[in-house]
Amino acid sequence: MLEGWVIVGASFAYIGLLFAIAFYADRRADAGRSVIANPWIYSLSLAVYATAWTFYGSVGRAASDGVGFLPIYIGPTLMIVLWWLVVRKMIRIAKLNRTTSLADFVAARYGRSALIGGLVTVIAVIGILPYISLQLKAISTSFQILMEYPQIVMPAKAGALSVMQDTAFYVALFLAMFTIAFGTRQLDAAERHEGMVAAIAFESIVKLVAFLAVGVFVTFVMYDGPGDIFERAARRPDLAALMTPFGGAAGGYASWVWLTVLSMMAIMFLPRQFQVAVIENVDERHVKRAMWVFPLYMLAINLFVLPIAIGGLLHFPDNVDADTFVLTLPMARGNEALALLVFIGGLSAATGMVIVETIALSTMVCNDLVMPLVLRLRKYRLAERDLSTLLLDIRRAAIVAILMMGYFYYLLAGEAYALVSIGLISFSAVAQFGPVMIGGLYWKGATRAGALTGLTAGFLVWTYTLLLPAFAKSGWLGFGIEFLERGPFGIELLRPTQLFGLTGLDQITHAMIWSFIANVGLYIGVSVLGRQSAAEHAQATLFVDVYKQTGERGLQWRGTASASSLQTLLGRFQGPARAAELFSAYARERGLKSVEELEGDAELVRYAELQLAGTIGAASARAMVATVAQEDPLGIDEVMTILDEASQVIAYSHRLEDQQRELEAATSELKAANDRLKELDRMKDDFISTVTHELRTPLTSIRAFSEILHDNPDLDAAERQRFLGLVIKESERLTRLINQVLDLAKIESGLALWNTGELDLREIVVDAVNATSPLFRSKGVAIETAMPALVPAVVADRDRLTQVLLNLLSNAVKFCPAGTGRVQVRLAADIGGVLVEVRDNGPGISPEHQAMIFEKFRQVGDTLTQKPSGTGLGLSICRRIIGHFGGRLWVESAPGRGSVFSFVLPCPTAS
């Protein structure tokens, strides 16, 4: 059943599934519903750490070293304990700087130095290429082994096959396609690759399931549980030795410790790990869960490594490579389905690593190696060109180039080393980033020169002690083995694998010791002896004190540039439409109407630089912005002062300024409030004195007549009656006045009771007209009403509204000429409410009096021959009643043309 087409078909089906998952996740991300925005997916994506090297190679290493393979997973477990402190800080910094890659991060820390970015990129590419080729080799080897089923035959040397027949070649092509499709979708690399992350998380599940399946199969099906396996192993001296791998020699422990340290570095600084842990991180809180889920994953995938290794050693004679036990054991037992599952699991482990690593490396190559060169070479000729397509092309080309280089490296060196050794060489390369990264996060004094020399030295020592011997052993170098054994020019002290006579250590430990001494020593030494430039110091403060930043960037550019030149610059890299979008978003944020209003101040320059950094990396962005922005020259001392001590003073004085501003604002508010209170006080005094006057008048009459009646008992009955009538009338007037004053006070103070309900205004008009009809008749004034059959209901208090209408009607009749007077009441639906009009043909009100009549105690009658009766509070109360229900009361009038008093009440159904 395991024919070629089945294996190839399954592989294609699997890769197709990956495409589908990535496509779906990207679609969801575009729709704003991210599938990767959860801590479980984040944890699983970290498991890209487990590559084909883990999947096949761990068993291989366990077969020779026992538990000696475990530091590669225990190191990350130890390191991850500190992630809440370290990686969270890196995520914070990366988000703030729109970091696109590890190289970008290091470059940004050390003064946005293009040189450091380039160096990191070179180290990463050289260090990681063998690791990528290792994955291709794993796929190719496992495919060839599976093809031979039911025989178990170790594959021929990779070079023996032509490229066209080689699985690894096609795998490399497919991975290039996948990576281009999901890795270069957006230009802004700081935006995450959601589809890729989702696919990687899925791959992590597949490889874990496959490995656990084969583990259970070997342990419990082929053998009778772990007890049985270890019992059998104990009976064979060569296998029993695996149980106590340290063997008493100090070298065993040193190698264990250094492997642990190496892996601690690798879990943070392998480009793919930095990519998934920092760049692709959606929410820094996800780190919390990943900190225990990911170690648990590593524990699970390693649980069966030793049983499988021993099982394999027990089962096969010497002719089967231990690196292939995972696959060959199920094959040996004829379990085809499991063998296929294992193959797919290995495929997933390899592809996951290759995809993420390629994206990370291609971004570095593009942003930190190619772009700075392109910009330097063509800086002046690029002025009018749109670079956005060029950027994407560079990135795609870098992906293809990296994969092809990985493939050819595999063709050349594929057979030289076992899987584990190649992986460790890569680990040692990226471990060189450890000092400059960790130091950069916590030590402000670390300088660009220190980082540059430390990295260079560490890398050179690594090349000399690990890479060179590896090449020499492969026979690629003219001088070959004797160079290793005697040293260059016969100087034994300089032998690459026993540098300065250091012996008794394995190669990796040896290389790690020397490269770290060189790297850390020079990094610290040069930093301490040298001085930082202003820009470096600014960046160092930014990184180390990232938690102090509240998203607001420190003063970066003191210079300025015109907004349009910045937009043009951004447009060249991201396309003019995207640049226009970004700039108008920025303008909107600042409350400006258009981009034209933007000023090219330092803040805008910084914004443009950050946007650019997301596309071409920090160092290149700096260089590009420098071409259009004029940075004011700044002395180092000046900047040091500003950034160091003065930054606190500035912050403090900012706070003081703020406080002063607040104080001033509060003072002017208080003053306004005070003025208002004074005004209210004056109004109250006026009101009281007016009320007093209005009260005294009726009181005068009442007292006078009472005394007259009292002092003149001889008055005739008619006169007595007339006087008593006047006393009663004035008492009523007094009562009315007191009531209205109280009424107004209640309304104004908000203590009035309102019986609010839905009302038909027509009923109220009819009631009011009926109630005032005697008044109209007695003065000979005609009244007419015009009402539609149906008006919308209003929400108001019936008695209060009746009060308003009575008031308006009695006012109207009061001012109408006797006999010829005419009052019209009109009711109509209005926009959003109901309109009521009371029109009279009285003398009218001059414009200057129109506002006055609504004031308390203002009676326009003052100017007339006749003083009108009434308290002068009626209209004032009416206006407040209508206002209370959300309506409006006003007058339209001209002298000699009568007056129209109107009010509108909103009705809920209309709106």
Partner 1 sequence: MKRPGRRGTQLACLFLLGCLLFNFPMLALFNVPAKILGLPVLYAYVFTVWLLLIVLLAVVMERKD
Partner 2 sequence: MSHRILIAEDEESIVASLEFLMRRSGFETRTAADGREALQCVADFHPDLVILDLMLPFKSGLEVCAEIRARPEWRETRVLMLTARGGANEEGLLAGADDYLSKPFATRELVARVRALLVLAPLRPEAGS
Please state, in angstroms and rounded to a whole number, the distance separating the CA atoms of residues 166 and 141. 10
Residue identified by tokens 């003398």 is 843
Please state, in angstroms and rounded to a whole number, the distance separating the CA atoms of residues 631 and 633. 6
Q: Does 853 bind partner 2 (CB under 8 A)?
A: no
The phi, psi pair for 663, rounded to 5°, reads: -60, -45
Please state, in angstroms and rounded to a whole number, the distance separating the CA atoms of residues 10 and 7. 5
The minimum distance between CB 231 and partner 1, in angstroms, equals 7
The minimum distance between CB 227 and partner 1, in angstroms, equals 3
One of 9, 159, 163, 292 touching partner 1 (CB under 8 A): 292
Residue number with CB closer to partner 1 (303 or 416): 303
Task: Tell me, by CB under 8 A, how many residues bind partner 1.
Answer: 40
547 binds, among partner 2, partner 1, none (CB under 5 to 8 A by kind): partner 1
Q: Does 249 bind partner 1 (CB under 8 A)?
A: no
One of 244, 389, 641, 700 touching partner 2 (CB under 8 A): 700
Name the residue type at position 264. Answer: M
Please state, in angstroms and rounded to a whole number, the distance separating the CA atoms of residues 728 and 342. 112
Residue number with CB closer to partner 1 (156 or 240): 240
Torsion sign, CA atoms 279, 280, 282, 288: negative
Residue number with CB closer to partner 2 (236 or 703): 703
One of 78, 115, 147, 771 touching partner 1 (CB under 8 A): 78
- Give the E-state strand segments of 71-148 in sequence order: none
85 binds, among partner 2, partner 1, none (CB under 5 to 8 A by kind): partner 1
The minimum distance between CB 74 and partner 1, in angstroms, equals 5
Q: Assess contact for 349 and 202: CB atoms under 8 A.
A: no
470 binds, among partner 2, partner 1, none (CB under 5 to 8 A by kind): none
Tell me, what DSSP letter sits at residue 448?
Answer: H
The phi, psi pair for 783, rounded to 5°, reads: -130, 135
Q: Does 81 bind partner 1 (CB under 8 A)?
A: yes
Q: Which of 177, 204, 336 is nearest to 276 (CA)?
A: 204
One of 87, 158, 180, 306 touching partner 1 (CB under 8 A): 306
691 binds, among partner 2, partner 1, none (CB under 5 to 8 A by kind): none
One of 49, 105, 427, 705 touching partner 2 (CB under 8 A): 705
One of 37, 78, 580, 699 touching partner 2 (CB under 8 A): 699
Torsion sign, CA atoms 749, 754, 760, 761: negative
Q: Does 864 bind partner 2 (CB under 8 A)?
A: yes
231 binds, among partner 2, partner 1, none (CB under 5 to 8 A by kind): partner 1
- CA 550 to centroid of chain Cα atoms: 14
Would you give the binding string for partner 1 spanning residues 200-239, x where CB under 8 A is met? Answer: -------------------------xxx--xx--x-----
Q: Assess contact for 56 and 419: CB atoms under 8 A.
A: yes
Output b/e per residue, 720-729; b: 16+ Cβ within 10 A: beebeeebee
726 binds, among partner 2, partner 1, none (CB under 5 to 8 A by kind): partner 2
Please state, in angstroms and rounded to a whole number, the distance separating the CA atoms of residues 769 and 808. 11
One of 655, 696, 777, 897 touching partner 2 (CB under 8 A): 696
Tokens representing 767? 């009631």
Which residues, numbered 547-586, are part of the site for partner 1 (CB under 8 A)? 547-548
Q: Which of 172, 148, 133, 152 is nearest to 51 (CA)?
A: 133
Query: At CA 304, angle to CA 247 and CA 335, rounded to 5?
Result: 130
Kindly indicate which of the ranges 85-93, 156-164, 485-493, 691-699 contains the residues binding partner 2, using the contact rule CB under 8 A.
Answer: 691-699
**CB atoms inside a 10 Å sphere around CB 246:** 15
Q: Assess contact for 355 and 147: CB atoms under 8 A.
A: no
Residue number with CB closer to partner 2 (654 or 703): 703
Helical segments of 49-166, H only: 52, 58-65, 71-81, 83-97, 102-109, 114-147
- The SS3 of residue 756 is strand
Please state, in angstroms and rounded to a whole number, the distance separating the CA atoms of residues 620 and 644. 27
260 binds, among partner 1, partner 2, none (CB under 5 to 8 A by kind): partner 1
Kindly indicate which of the ranges 409-417, 489-497, 781-789, 856-864 contains the residues binding partner 2, using the contact rule CB under 8 A.
Answer: 856-864
The minimum distance between CB 39 and partner 1, in angstroms, equals 10
One of 289, 473, 814, 849 touching partner 1 (CB under 8 A): 289
Q: Assess contact for 592 and 577: CB atoms under 8 A.
A: no
- Three-state secondary structure of 402-442: HHHHHHHHHHHHCCCCCHHHHHHHHHHHHHCHHHHHHHHHH
Strand-pair partners of 750? none
One of 778, 862, 883, 896 touching partner 2 (CB under 8 A): 862
Q: Does 314 bind partner 1 (CB under 8 A)?
A: no
Helical segments of 530-629, H only: 534-544, 563-574, 576-589, 602-616, 618-628
Please state, in angstroms and rounded to a whole number, the distance separating the CA atoms of residues 907 and 884. 13
Residue number with CB closer to partner 2 (690 or 824): 690
- The SS3 of residue 492 is helix
Which residues, numbered 716-775, are part of the site for partner 2 (CB under 8 A)? 719, 723, 726, 729-730
The minimum distance between CB 817 and partner 2, in angstroms, equals 19
Residue number with CB closer to partner 1 (230 or 408): 230
Residue number with CB closer to partner 2 (361 or 702): 702
Q: Does 76 bind partner 1 (CB under 8 A)?
A: no
Kindly indicate which of the ranges 241-249, 313-321, 703-711, 840-848 contains the residues binding partner 1, using the contact rule CB under 8 A.
Answer: 241-249
Q: Does 682 bind partner 2 (CB under 8 A)?
A: no
Please state, in angstroms and rounded to a whole number, the distance separating the CA atoms of residues 502 and 178. 46
319 binds, among partner 1, partner 2, none (CB under 5 to 8 A by kind): none
729 binds, among partner 1, partner 2, none (CB under 5 to 8 A by kind): partner 2
The minimum distance between CB 309 and partner 1, in angstroms, equals 11
Q: What is the CA radius of gyration of the chain?
A: 45
Task: Tell me, by CB under 8 A, how many residues bind partner 2.
Answer: 29
Torsion sign, CA atoms 729, 734, 740, 742: negative
343 binds, among partner 2, partner 1, none (CB under 5 to 8 A by kind): none
Q: Assess contact for 367 and 618: CB atoms under 8 A.
A: no
The minimum distance between CB 421 and partner 1, in angstroms, equals 22
Query: At CA 119, angle to CA 114 and CA 125, rounded to 5?
Result: 125
Q: Does 504 bind partner 1 (CB under 8 A)?
A: no
865 binds, among partner 1, partner 2, none (CB under 5 to 8 A by kind): partner 2
Q: Which of 94, 40, 544 is nearest to 279 (CA)?
A: 94
Residue number with CB closer to partner 1 (180 or 290): 290
The minimum distance between CB 693 and partner 2, in angstroms, equals 5
Residue number with CB closer to partner 2 (529 or 864): 864
Give the strands of the sheet with 833-840, arranged side by side. Answer: 782-786, 822-830, 833-840, 899-906, 888-893
Q: Does 253 bind partner 1 (CB under 8 A)?
A: yes
Q: Does 865 bind partner 2 (CB under 8 A)?
A: yes
The phi, psi pair for 479, rounded to 5°, reads: -85, -20
Would you tell me which residues interact with partner 2 (CB under 8 A)?
689, 692-693, 696-705, 707-708, 711-712, 719, 723, 726, 729-730, 861-867
Would you tell me which residues interact with partner 1 (CB under 8 A)?
66-67, 70-71, 74, 77-78, 80-82, 84-85, 225-227, 230-231, 234, 240, 243-248, 253, 256-257, 260, 288-289, 291-292, 295-296, 299, 303, 306, 547-548
